[in-house]
């Protein structure tokens, strides 16, 4: 063979030439060094097709080791049993243009897509080939289907979660604590959101009619606590104290209904008013504590009747002793006096109406 030679130097066999053909090779040394960029593994009886190279290992142009250079082996590369990537390595898949399309890094994180060419998807099928789970970055969704292809659960790109509604199953959300206790159950079939403690007692529930229940299980009282965006407690509905309390951002109570049904408004530097509107939003009645008056208005906003403290400042009220009852004669006399006051008030209203433009 032209331009070929075999040399022995200090226990080293040096083969010089373009090709090294080995038909039966047994080597019992620690190292075998080939100063060639291509290693061909090619047995004529193993070929599926004739012609072409079978480059098993190639020292690439970027100083990398390439297996099955240019896809020389029609049967691809097969690994029997386990494939282990050690020393903090990663698994990278590239397309024909050299773009990374999928990667598993040294911490086990999986990435797909994002190279300007294609979106990353994860497709999981059952043993019969049915597509059960589809995680699609292009559509921004996580979708779970049954074996008939019906969507049973889905999270879309806006974070909306859907479950059920395919004519086969109802959608439920079940959340357990670290010990396996069912704490939260959102059930579409029963139309409920239910929260339980670790003993299985229901502590809060919203039913299909929108009713909200909390407490009443012998363990805890039901409370509703509403804070503003800065964390200030604004509304407190407490079953134990039997109250509905509204506070301002400084913690002052501005409105309260106690367990006896009493309503308190104002305080904390604010006056308490009561404003009543009709179905169209027009203010018809206003009880104003600042001006100490009650205004009755028509839908256009005109005051039709006003009762204020000035109307009663000159009234002479009988001084009945506390915890005593007036006689029947005193009651009749007082009712007559009140009637006269009302008639006088009516005349005053009529005069105001007639004099108004």
49: DSSP letter: S
> pTM of the full predicted structure?
0.52
Together in a domain, 111 and 151? no
Sheet holding 263-265, edge to edge: 223-227, 233-238, 243-247, 253-257, 263-265
Together in a domain, 164 and 204? no
Q: What Rg, from alpha-carbon coordinates, does the chain have? A: 44
Q: Two tokens at 24?
A: 């039966």
CA–CA distance from 176 to each of 11, 196, 201, 204 (Å)? 70, 10, 14, 16
Sign of CA dihedral 313, 316, 319, 323: negative
Q: What pLDDT, on a 0 to 100 scale, did the predictor assign at position 348?
A: 83
Q: What pLDDT, on a 0 to 100 scale, did the predictor assign at position 230?
A: 93
Per-residue pLDDT of the chain (357 residues), as tens digits, is 567 777 887 777 777 777 776 665 566 667 777 788 998 998 888 999 988 999 999 999 999 999 999 999 999 999 999 988 888 889 998 888 888 889 999 899 999 988 787 889 999 999 999 999 999 998 999 999 999 899 999 999 999 999 988 777 889 999 999 999 999 999 988 899 999 998 888 999 999 999 999 988 777 889 999 999 999 999 999 998 999 999 999 999 999 999 988 999 988 788 889 999 999 999 999 998 888 888 888 999 888 888 776 555 444 544 545 555 545 555 666 777 788 888 888 888 888 877 766
178: DSSP letter: T
Q: What are phi and psi of 352, to 5 degrees?
A: -65, -40
Number of domain units in the chain:
4
Together in a domain, 200 and 159? no
Residue 70 contacts residue 78 (beta carbons within 8 Å): no
- In which element (H, E) is residue 349 found? helix 328-355
Together in a domain, 232 and 257? yes
Domain assignment present for residue 18? The answer is: no
Q: What pLDDT, on a 0 to 100 scale, did the predictor assign at position 323?
A: 53
Domain assignment present for residue 205? The answer is: yes
Domain assignment present for residue 29? The answer is: no
Q: How many CB atoms lie within 10 A of CB 53?
A: 13
Domain assignment present for residue 58? The answer is: no
Together in a domain, 165 and 124? yes
What distance lies between CA 18 and its chain's CA centroid? 66
Domain assignment present for residue 135? The answer is: yes
The contacts of residue 134 (CB under 8 Å, 6+ apart) are: 121, 122, 123, 124, 141, 142, 143, 145
66 HSE (CA, 13 A, CB side): 17
Domain hosting 104: range is 86-116
Domain assignment present for residue 328? The answer is: no
What distance lies between CA 148 and its chain's CA centroid? 29
Q: What pLDDT, on a 0 to 100 scale, did the predictor assign at position 226?
A: 92
Together in a domain, 130 and 109? no
Q: What pLDDT, on a 0 to 100 scale, did the predictor assign at position 58?
A: 96
Distance between CA atoms of residues 291 and 303, nearest Å: 15
Domain assignment present for residue 316? The answer is: no
Q: What pLDDT, on a 0 to 100 scale, did the predictor assign at position 321?
A: 52
């Amino acid at each position: 063979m032209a331009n070929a030679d075999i040399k022995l130097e200090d226990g080293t066999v040096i083969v010089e030439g373009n090709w090294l053909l080995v038909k039966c090779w047994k080597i019992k040394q620690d190292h075998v060094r080939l100063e060639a960029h291509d290693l061909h593994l090619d047995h004529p009886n193993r070929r599926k097709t004739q012609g072409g190279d079978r480059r098993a290992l190639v020292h690439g142009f970027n100083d990398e080791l390439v297996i099955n250079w240019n896809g020389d082996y029609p049967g691809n590369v097969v690994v029997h049993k386990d494939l282990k990537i050690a020393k903090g390595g990663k698994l990278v898949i590239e397309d024909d243009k050299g773009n990374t399309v999928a990667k598993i890094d040294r911490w086990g994180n999986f990435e797909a897509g994002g190279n300007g060419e294609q979106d990353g998807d994860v497709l999981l099928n059952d043993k019969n080939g049915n597509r059960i789970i589809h995680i699609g970055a292009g559509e921004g969704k996580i979708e779970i289907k049954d074996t008939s292809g019906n969507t049973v659960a889905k999270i879309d790109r806006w974070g909306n979660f859907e479950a059920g509604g395919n004519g086969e199953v109802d959608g439920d959300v079940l959340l357990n604590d670290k010990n396996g206790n069912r704490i939260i159950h959102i059930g579409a079939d029963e139309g409920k959101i239910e929260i339980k403690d670790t003993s299985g007692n229901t502590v809060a529930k919203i039913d299909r009619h929108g009713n909200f229940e909390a407490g009443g299980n012998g363990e805890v009282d039901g409370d509703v606590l509403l804070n503003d965006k800065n964390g200030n407690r604004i509304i407190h509905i407490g079953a134990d104290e039997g109250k509905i309390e509204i506070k301002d951002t400084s913690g002052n109570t501005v409105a309260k209904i106690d367990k006896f049904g009493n309503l308190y408004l104002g305080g904390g530097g604010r006056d308490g008013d009561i404003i009543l509107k009709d179905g169209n939003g027009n203010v018809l009645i206003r009880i104003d504590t600042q001006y100490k008056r009650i205004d009755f208005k028509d839908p256009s906003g005109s005051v039709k009747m006003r009762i204020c403290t000035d109307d009663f400042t000159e009234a002479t009220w009988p001084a009945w002793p506390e915890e005593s009852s007036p006689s029947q004669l005193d009651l009749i006399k007082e009712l007559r006096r009140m009637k006269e006051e009302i008639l006088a008030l009516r005349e005053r209203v009529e005069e105001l109406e007639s004099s108004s433009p």
